[in-house]
Amino acid sequence: MPWKHSIRRQRAELARALRQPMAQLAPQLVPIWGNRRRMETLLARNIFKIPYCLQVYVLKTDGIQITDNIGHGGSMPGHYHRDRSRRPYMKELVPTQDFLISDAYMSLSEQRPSLTALQIIRNEHAVLGFLGIDFDLRDLPVTAGLFRQSAEWRQFKGDPAIRNLVFQQSRVESPLDSNIDQVMSILEELLTQNGIFQVQIHFSSSQAIIWLTLDPYRYRLLDIDALTDPDICLAYPHEPYPSLVLMEPEKIAGILNTFKALRTTDETFYLRQASINIFSGMVSVTFSCDGTHYMRYDEFLEKNTAFWFGNSAA
């Protein structure tokens, strides 16, 4: 999945930052192996050399901790002889590797996303144990670029109980259905002329949720009275259509008309909810069987009702 590629890049950047200081610290533990106090003193002197570190400790190969946790404020009592063998990062370790960054997991103490780096400690003859360093994800820098959602068509199945009963139901005309031409025209105006960049339409409950470019962190609810009254366009200032979008304004009418067709063509399989986002260029549709599709608007416009309700849809 694309988001996993982004995470792998982030982990690779963190590994580059952590590998050298951990590799330098691990051999210093070999001459004092088994001497708890000396090992804890060494960890306390070196914790500041390890970037983003929350706490550091030493484990035997069986996962039993042989030092307390050492944080930036010093020793953190209560962790000596702690059994970490069942923690997720211990299960990931490959013995032939000297260094590993775990997958993220939820910490036991704070229940926060965390990860652990492990460095093998070895002498000339054998592996003695591991240098363990914990990190709170809140403290780690984002070294990879912002994850961008793929625009490929994706389909999600919904509630099986709804799918199993789909043939026992039929569409009941809502107030929005009764005024659907008026509603679609008003939504087109809002999207192209009034700075609305996303709309989510709920056909059965006769409402819509909108987001404005001037105030993108808050949404507005429009009930059927607002959706059928052209005066609603006066409630939002006129805004030029944004330039950094992936959806041309002249395509919006066609998308809304397709929503109308998907809502009214079949009385058993019909549209329950739909959305448009002009910046991402994405459209979503959720049907009476509770299946949801996400796709680029141009791909959506290529599909006709036969695709959704004909043999190919079945």
> What is the SS3 assignment for 22-43?
HHHHHHHHCCCCCCHHHHHHHH
Indicate the residue among 113, 139, 165 that finishes a domain: 139
What are the distances in angstroms from CA 307 to CA 162, 300, 314?
Answer: 22, 11, 9
Residue 49 lies in a domain: yes
Q: What is the pLDDT, as a whole number, of residue 170?
A: 82
Contact 135, 53 (CB under 8 A): yes
Indicate the residue among 95, 113, 139 that finishes a domain: 139
Residues 298, 200 share a domain = yes
Residue 268 lies in a domain: yes
Residues 193, 74 share a domain = no
Q: Which helix (H) or strand (E) holds 60?
A: strand 55-60
Amino acid at 34: G
Indicate the residue among 83, 108, 139 that finishes a domain: 139
pLDDT along the chain (314 residues), means of 10: 64 82 92 94 93 91 93 90 86 69 79 87 90 85 56 67 65 94 96 96 96 95 95 91 92 96 88 95 89 91 80 41
Among 111, 7, 101, which residue's Cα sits nearest to residue 51?
Answer: 101
Give CA torsion, residues 17, 18, 23, 24, to 10 deg. Answer: 70
CATH of the domain at 112: 3.30.450.20
Q: What is the pLDDT, as a whole number, of residue 148?
A: 58
Q: Max Cα separation, the chain?
A: 82
Residue 248 lies in a domain: yes
Residue 52 lies in a domain: yes
Write out the two tokens for 189: 């105006």
Residues 12, 122 share a domain = yes
Q: What is the pLDDT, as a whole number, of residue 3?
A: 55
Residue 97 lies in a domain: yes
Residue 148 lies in a domain: no
Q: What length is written for the chain?
A: 314
Residues 97, 14 share a domain = yes
Residues 243, 207 share a domain = yes
pTM given for the model? 0.67
Q: In DSSP terms, which residues pair with 276 in a beta bridge?
A: 199, 283
Among 219, 221, 292, 304, which residue's Cα sits nearest to residue 257?
Answer: 304
Write out the two tokens for 307: 């695709």
Q: How far apart are CA 205 and CA 76, in angstroms?
A: 56
Distance from CA of residue 195 to its chain's centroid? 26
Residue 274 lies in a domain: yes
Among 54, 56, 60, which residue's Cα sits nearest to residue 68?
Answer: 56
Residues 227, 105 share a domain = no
Q: What is the pLDDT, as a whole number, of residue 305?
A: 76
Amino acid at 303: K
Residues 183, 99 share a domain = no
Residues 162, 135 share a domain = no
Q: What is the pLDDT, as a whole number, of residue 312?
A: 38
Q: In DSSP terms, which residues pair with 100 in a beta bridge?
A: 118
Residues 98, 49 share a domain = yes
Residues 220, 126 share a domain = no
Domain count within the chain = 2
What are the distances in angstroms from CA 195 to CA 32, 190, 224, 236?
Answer: 67, 7, 20, 8
Neighbours of 289 (CB within 10 A): 20
Note down the domain range covering 288.
154-309
Residues 301, 227 share a domain = yes
What are the distances in angstroms from CA 142 to CA 7, 51, 117, 208?
Answer: 10, 13, 17, 35
Among 142, 146, 205, which residue's Cα sits nearest to residue 176?
Answer: 205
Residue 149 lies in a domain: no
Contacts 24+ apart (CB under 8 A), 217-220: none
Amino acid at 17: A
Residues 205, 62 share a domain = no
Write out the two tokens for 178: 């009764």
